[in-house]
């Protein structure tokens, strides 16, 4: 190939060259995804974020990145240096410095596993504090008249909730408390929205909801600040976040969990049609009972009216009954007194007979005791010719043992006594000898 004369080579302006390089990058790469480690992360007062993405394999390479405020608000976590992230965006040239940079459209943590592990650790810690204790849950009002809905005003969740409540309970007043539901500012926004919801006049229930999404999308509802705000709520909180399979820490802290925002709206209020049907059934039962009572009262009234048609007959029957009672009462006192007199006479005879028998038994017993005493009287024995011998001290002499010659004794007969002296002692044979 012939050499191109130096004078014929194109000379670029700096801005034009950078623009051409930027266009070439856009045409060659388009939208790209890159994985690495955050470094030098900073957030400007405007909300834009600037940082460097370092190579995760330790190659020492780095890529300057810029994330504008709109995209930064959608990040489901708080970016920090050292985090492994996956970025999606486009490559461009920053003309002011002539540097290659990536304009980031979205940022996610690398791998859902690490995020889920953080979810489990936070859940275990808050559970130990008792924030998920079922005993602390409050019952929802059976017929809430005002419901405060905490959600994004532009999301699909508010549409589903309003549609469901309008269909089931159009009489219920709905107060929307708008809040962010995704992004690093969302947890604090949700906490403030819950506080405002508790101040809504006449509100009886707080409905916290948002549509479905990934674990990163719903991460704001796993924030510890949101969990504690739910437990501090003055009003019961019904939480409907995500789809049926999504479970957040806000669901566990709420007084009642619904699988979806639509289900939350259904649980918040009973269906008006069902209530009207129940009222109709109650009204029918009341009407039937009233008719039964009126029919019974009418029958009673007819019976009383028939009895009042001939008052003379009623008076005559009562007069005859009174005469019969008078005749019966006329002979009652005399018969009663005669019966009482006979009974008293019979009782008096029985008492006299019982007294005479008791006296006879007493006389017989006394005679028996006197005879026994008379048989035991020593004088009676002495009167039969026996004598009582005693020493000078008055002790009875019942044996010759112990007597000595010359000993003075006293002999007692039935008619007197005599002092004697022992001349001699002649003991007799023992009683057991023949």
* Residues 27 and 58 grouped into a single domain: yes
User: Is 67 contained in some domain?
Assistant: yes
User: Which of 110, 136, 154 is the endpoint of a domain?
Assistant: 110
User: Is 213 contained in some domain?
Assistant: yes
User: Is 434 contained in some domain?
Assistant: no
Report pLDDT digits (tens) over 319-331.
888 888 877 777 6
CA dihedral defined by 69, 113, 221, 270, rounded to 10 degrees? Answer: 130
* Residues 205 and 283 grouped into a single domain: no
CA–CA separation, 200 and 177 (whole Å): 9
Is the pLDDT at 14 greater than 80? The verdict is: no
CB atoms inside a 10 Å sphere around CB 55: 14
CATH classification of the domain holding 37 = 2.40.50.140
Is the pLDDT at 207 greater than 80? The verdict is: yes
- Residue 103 DSSP SS3: strand
Residue 191, H or E segment: helix 186-198
Is the pLDDT at 62 greater than 80? The verdict is: yes
- Residue 328 DSSP SS3: helix
* Residues 158 and 230 grouped into a single domain: yes
CATH classification of the domain holding 167 = 3.40.50.10550
CB atoms inside a 10 Å sphere around CB 358: 9
* Residues 187 and 226 grouped into a single domain: yes
Average pLDDT estimate for 204-222: 86
Is the pLDDT at 274 greater than 80? The verdict is: no
User: Which pLDDT does position 253 carry in this prediction?
Assistant: 92
* Residues 82 and 185 grouped into a single domain: no
CA–CA separation, 168 and 257 (whole Å): 19
User: Is 429 contained in some domain?
Assistant: no
Number of domains composing the chain: 3
CA–CA separation, 124 and 142 (whole Å): 32
The arrangement of strands across the sheet holding 388-391 comes to: 388-391, 408-413, 416-421
User: Is 392 contained in some domain?
Assistant: no
Name the one residue in this structure whose structure tokens are 């976590």: 77
- Residue 159 DSSP SS3: helix
* Residues 154 and 263 grouped into a single domain: yes
User: Which pLDDT does position 434 carry in this prediction?
Assistant: 42
User: Is 334 contained in some domain?
Assistant: no
Is the pLDDT at 358 greater than 60? The verdict is: yes
* Residues 103 and 205 grouped into a single domain: no
User: Which pLDDT does position 16 carry in this prediction?
Assistant: 79
Is the pLDDT at 268 greater than 70? The verdict is: yes
Is the pLDDT at 309 greater than 70? The verdict is: no
User: Which of 286, 309, 332 is the endpoint of a domain?
Assistant: 309
Name the more confident of 239 and 317.
239
User: Which of 95, 110, 125 is the endpoint of a domain?
Assistant: 110
Q: Which residues does residue 391 pair with via DSSP β-bridges, in sequence order? A: 409
* Residues 153 and 62 grouped into a single domain: no
User: Is 237 contained in some domain?
Assistant: yes
* Residues 264 and 156 grouped into a single domain: yes
Lowest mean pLDDT among 145-149, 177-181, 397-401: 397-401
User: Is 87 contained in some domain?
Assistant: yes
* Residues 71 and 175 grouped into a single domain: no
Query: How does residue 57 score in pLDDT terms, banded at 50, 70 and 90?
Result: low
Domain that residue 244 falls in: 146-270
Range among 120-129, 301-310, 351-360 with highest mean pLDDT value? 120-129
* Residues 170 and 261 grouped into a single domain: yes
Average pLDDT estimate for 81-94: 85
- Residue 389 DSSP SS3: strand
pTM over 0.85: no
CA–CA separation, 196 and 284 (whole Å): 44
* Residues 106 and 176 grouped into a single domain: no
């Amino acid at each position: 190939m012939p050499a191109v004369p130096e004078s014929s080579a194109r000379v670029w302006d700096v801005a034009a060259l950078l623009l051409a390089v930027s266009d070439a990058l856009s045409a060659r790469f388009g939208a790209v995804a890159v994985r690495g480690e955050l470094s030098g992360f900073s957030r400007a007062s405007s909300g834009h974020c600037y940082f460097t993405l370092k190579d995760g394999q330790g190659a020492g390479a780095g890529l300057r990145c810029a994330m504008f405020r709109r995209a930064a608000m959608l990040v489901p976590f708080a970016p920090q240096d050292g985090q492994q992230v996956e970025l999606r965006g486009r490559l461009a040239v920053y003309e002011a410095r002539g540097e290659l940079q990536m304009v980031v459209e979205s940022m996610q943590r690398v791998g859902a596993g690490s995020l889920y592990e953080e979810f489990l650790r936070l859940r275990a810690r808050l559970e130990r504090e008792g924030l998920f204790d079922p005993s602390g849950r409050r019952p929802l009002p059976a017929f809430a008249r005002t419901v405060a809905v905490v959600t994004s005003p532009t999301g699909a969740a508010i549409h589903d909730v309003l549609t469901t409540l309008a269909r089931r309970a159009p009489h219920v007043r709905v107060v929307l408390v708008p809040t962010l539901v995704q992004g690093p500012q969302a947890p604090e926004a949700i906490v403030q929205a819950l506080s405002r919801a508790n101040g809504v006049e006449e509100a009886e229930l707080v409905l916290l909801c948002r549509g479905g999404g990934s674990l990163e999308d719903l991460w704001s509802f796993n924030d510890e600040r949101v969990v504690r705000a739910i437990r501090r709520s003055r009003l019961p909180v019904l939480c409907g976040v995500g789809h049926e399979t999504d479970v957040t820490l806000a669901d566990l802290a709420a007084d009642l969990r619904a699988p979806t925002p639509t289900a939350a709206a259904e649980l918040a209020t009973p269906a008006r049609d069902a209530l009207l049907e129940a009222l109709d059934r109650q009204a029918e039962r009341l009407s039937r009972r009233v008719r039964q009572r009126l029919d019974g009262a009418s029958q009673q009234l007819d019976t009383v009216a028939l009895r009042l048609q001939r008052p003379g007959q009623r008076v005559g029957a009562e007069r005859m009954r009174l005469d019969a009672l008078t005749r019966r009462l006329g002979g009652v006192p005399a018969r009663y007194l005669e019966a009482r007199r006979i009974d008293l006479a019979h009782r008096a005879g029985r008492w006299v007979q019982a007294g005479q028998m008791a006296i006879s038994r007493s006389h017989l017993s006394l005679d028996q005791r006197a005879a026994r005493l008379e048989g035991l009287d020593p004088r009676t024995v002495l009167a039969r010719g026996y004598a009582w011998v005693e020493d000078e001290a008055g002790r009875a002499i019942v044996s010759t043992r112990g007597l000595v010659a010359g000993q003075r004794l006293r002999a007692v007969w039935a008619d007197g006594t005599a002092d004697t002296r022992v001349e001699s002692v002649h003991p007799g044979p023992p009683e057991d000898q023949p």
